[in-house]
Amino acid sequence: MTEGIWVGRGSRLGMAHWDRGVSGRIAPSPVLGANRLNEAGAKWIKRSYADLNALTPMEVSPRTQRLGAREIAKTKRIYLDCLRVDSHRIRLLAVMVFLVFLIFAVSVTLLSLYLQAASYLNRIQKEKSELLLNISRWLEDLDKQRKLNSLIHENMTSVTQKHLSQLKVTLPQLLVKQAWSSQEIEQQGREYLNDQKNVTNLQDKFRRLIENYVLIPMGSPLLNNCMKISSEINRIDCPFCSAGWKLFGQSCYLVSSNTMRWQESAHWCRTHGGHLAVINSMEEQTFLQQMVTQTSWIGLSDRFLEGRWHWVDGTPYDAEPKFWKHNQPDNSDNEDCVTLSSDAGWNDDKCRKLYRSVCELSAGELSLLLDSPND
């Protein structure tokens, strides 16, 4: 059997395996797989493995074999130490690369911040320049305004002095004119008092004239309804009504244009100086039926006591004639107020319904005294 020295398959060299074979390739460990060696380190390791693989078995004595084994073990230890040193260098190189990259990243960041700060400072500088320019313009405007104010003050001073000099001249003249004016006012006041006394005397004379005589034009409406009382008395009575009211007998009548409840109608008539119409005769009933064009309230109701009718002016109900419609009053569903229609007589109805109103007012009276029975 041929004796020789073999490097066993699977023997560990530092952090890598070496194998006996023709290719002499290195199977990387899991640790070196995570951190790849650089190209120079990989070439150097391949050359070392190639030298070891080049060892061929040779025929030696046992002593020589033991000595060769010791040399090979020593060589292996030296080789492993070299591998450890190279691994440390590679790690140190990786750390240095990482630090260089970190320094580069920090430098780029600082450069970016520097550029931003420089841009911001540049913008601040521009704004500062614009602000200084505006302040300069404002100072110029302020100086112009001060000069203008000074000029205005000088003009006002000269104008004031001019007016004071004129006032010194015109003031005595004005005082003299004021004295003459005061005298004239006093004289006019005395004349006004005399005129006032004359006017008062004339007013007294005119009042006495009015008390004794009244001038009425012949075409006045006040004279349309005049009638002589009797042949023995030299007096003529002329009843009259205000505008819008219609005269019948000694009373004036007015029909509202708006519809209202019975109580509102009574109040409306009172505000016009009268009351809801009170019918005392057949002639008055006929006159009012011809006057109204729609159903209207009159001044009759039994609101306070059912069946006890009363007129708004206190006239007794039983003392006057009645002009009820057929089968009225019927007090159907609490009907307490009375209406007048143009085509029929009276009808009791609900006081809350809306109808027009017939108001009555005592007519005004004008009495004329005649100088003789023939006038």
Domain containing 336 — which CATH number?
3.10.100.10
Measured distance CA(297)–CA(348) in Å, rounded: 10
**153: confidence class by pLDDT, cuts 50, 70, 90:** confident
> What is residue 56's DSSP assignment?
-
| Residue 120 in domain | no
Helices (H), the chain: 30-34, 39-53, 62-212, 262-271, 282-291
Mean of pLDDT values over 290-305: 92
- Residue bearing the bigger pLDDT, 24 or 47: 47
| Residue 237 in domain | yes
CB 298 within 8 A of CB 346: yes
Measured distance CA(41)–CA(76) in Å, rounded: 18
| Residue 93 in domain | no
| Residue 191 in domain | no
Give the range with max mean pLDDT: 34-48, 94-108, 162-176, 198-212: 94-108
Q: Are strands 296-301 and 356-362 parallel, antiparallel or unpaired?
A: parallel
| Residue 235 in domain | yes
Q: Apex CA 256: angle with CA 250 and CA 257, to 5°?
A: 145
Residue 294 sits in which domain range?
223-369
Tell me the pLDDT tens digit for each residue of 257-271: 999 999 999 999 999
| Residue 33 in domain | no
Tell me the pLDDT tens digit for each residue of 163-207: 888 878 888 878 887 788 788 788 878 887 888 888 888 777 777
How many independent structural domains does the chain possess?
1
Q: Which tokens sit at 54?
A: 């080049």
pTM metric for this prediction: 0.42
| Residue 312 in domain | yes
- Coil/strand/helix, residue 236: strand
| Residue 98 in domain | no
